[in-house]
Amino acid sequence: MSDLLKPHEDRFFDPDPTVRRFARDLYNKVKNWPIISPHGHTEPSWFSENKPFSDPTALILIPDHYIFRMLFSQGISMESLGVPTIDGGVVEQDHRKIWQLFADHFYLFAGTPTAAWLSHEFYEVFGIAEKLTSKSAMAIYEHIDSQLKKPEFLPRAILERFKIELLSTTDPAESELEHHKTMRDSDWSGRIIPAFRPDGVTDISRPDWQNNLAKLAATTGMEIDSFDRFIQALEQQRHFFKTMGATSTDHGVLTPYTCELSRNEAENIFQKACAGTADKTDALKFTAHMLMEMARMSVDDGLVMQIHAGSFRNHNQAVFKRFGADKGADIPQKTEYTKNLHALLNKFGNNINFNLILFTLDESTYSRELAPLAGHYPAVKLGPPWWFHDSIEGMKRCRERTIETAGFYNTAGFNDDTRALLSIPARHDLARRVDCNFLAGLVARHQIGFEEAEELIGELTHGLVKKAYKLEKF
């Protein structure tokens, strides 16, 4: 294969030779460090069952909304891309045909982080140096397919090959964590831990809320017929998750609005939800109160609380009804933090036993709200750019708009937040390069010394994420 795709060794570094030299020196210090992935959405079943991935399309394309949302935006149907429907309707089953369609339109990804990640994956993981085009599609498909049949491409072997020191999945509050149990009881030494995601039972506006509540009752063996019993069930599950290695919770809310209801108010809304009569106002109040409850529980049990706010989920209702959630139609919206988090931070923000990591899809909040909040409240740390902004330019903007106010040590390092297993090293490599380049700029402008930059890149790569997610013991 011709050497057309090999990523340049100085990619993402500043063209200024002074900055580039410093960036390269910093990157060489950390480029081979193990990966800590404290928040993501890979499937625990991959690692408990450790079965070969079936083919390139099933592994790389069909699960990755970053890929198929771009193709869909250009009028390519999700059925033709093999994305499964809720009702089991007919979709394309020929994975080679789907791959060819993907290759025919790969040019659409020019300049996007998806192109950067895939280029890294193809070259570094599979040894492919030829650009994906209509002409090269089948040769690349067959090459990847043959690689996936090798023992070194089994899921556990991939983690070891990528030097992933720890990986966290994200699991529903009602989960029995059966795959985590299987891994724990095996002789495998890999570190896969769960994270507690209670949205399915704390968001009473969801159409599946009652079903999720029933699952929580079955998992805990409790009759959840009151708000107090609901709280007890959640506390019990949090304890169970901790015994399975969890160090964090995750809350994907539309808004970070928090308020504290009286016990009677919470009980009344809970009973309305059980009866199917709760309205939008009830749901807003209940979610706001449950964020307060989750913060209280975090003070008690030590689990780090993550809030991912500001996504208008399933914006395209036709796609949601046919294909379900997480199909590329979750759209950022304007998000306010200062007032919305006032109740929570005034009650818990000064508590040294509380750890809160904030994420945003609304970049306008970085310098105006998030950096000042993190630069004041002991409990608050800033998560890395999330989703629409976990890109080269997005990461740069985040550093530029937050560090001068919050400092480096009020941030939480990097997490990849991915469903695509093979993108993990690509995402971490990109983040390390962007951070090295940012620090190199500070060195070149004589704002910090090179030795301080060396210390900081170590913190941004490992130290801060271990502290933020309480992973020092791993």
**How far, in Å, CA of 72 to CA of 89, rounded?**
18
CA 53, 55, 61 angle in degrees (round to 5)?
A: 100
Whether 192 and 47 have beta carbons less than 8 Å apart is answered as yes
Provide the 8-state DSSP code for 399. H
**How far, in Å, CA of 190 to CA of 166, rounded?**
7
Q: At what angle do helices 113-120 and 65-73 cross, to 10 degrees?
A: 130
pLDDT at 2: 43
Tokens of 86: 């809720």
pLDDT tens digit at each of 474 positions of the chain: 444 567 899 999 999 999 999 999 999 999 999 999 999 999 999 999 999 999 999 999 998 989 999 999 999 999 999 999 999 999 999 999 999 999 999 999 999 999 999 999 999 999 999 999 999 999 999 999 999 999 999 999 999 999 999 999 999 999 999 999 999 999 999 999 999 999 999 999 999 999 999 999 999 999 999 999 999 999 999 999 999 999 999 999 999 999 999 999 999 999 999 999 999 999 999 999 999 999 999 999 999 999 999 999 999 999 999 999 889 999 999 999 999 999 999 999 999 999 999 999 999 999 999 999 999 999 999 999 998 999 999 999 999 999 999 999 999 999 999 999 999 999 999 999 999 999 999 999 999 999 999 999 999 999 999 999 999 876
**Residues 6 or more apart in contact with residue 155 via CB below 8 angstroms:** 46, 47, 50, 51, 53, 421
- CATH fold label, 52-153: uronate isomerase, domain 2, chain A (1.10.2020)
Check whether domain 17-49+162-468 has CATH 3.20.20.140, yes or no:
yes
pLDDT at 1: 40
pLDDT at 326: 87
**How far, in Å, CA of 458 to CA of 22, rounded?**
15
CA distances from 387 to 113, 197, 406 (A): 10, 18, 21
Phi, psi of 167 (to 5 degrees): -135, 135
Question: What are the domain boundaries of the chain?
Answer: 17-49+162-468, 52-153
pLDDT at 9: 93
**CATH topology match: 17-49+162-468 vs 52-153:** no
pLDDT at 37: 98
Tokens of 204: 């009473």
Q: By three-state DSSP, how is residue 385 classified?
A: coil
- pLDDT tens column, 195-218: 999 999 999 999 999 999 999 999
pLDDT at 6: 79
DSSP states of 168-218: E--EETT---HHHHHHHHSS----EE--EE-HHHH-TTSTTHHHHHHHHHH
- Give the pairing of strands 192-193 and 164-168: parallel
Q: Which residue type does 212 have?
A: N
Q: Which residue bears the tokens 């941004």?
A: 460
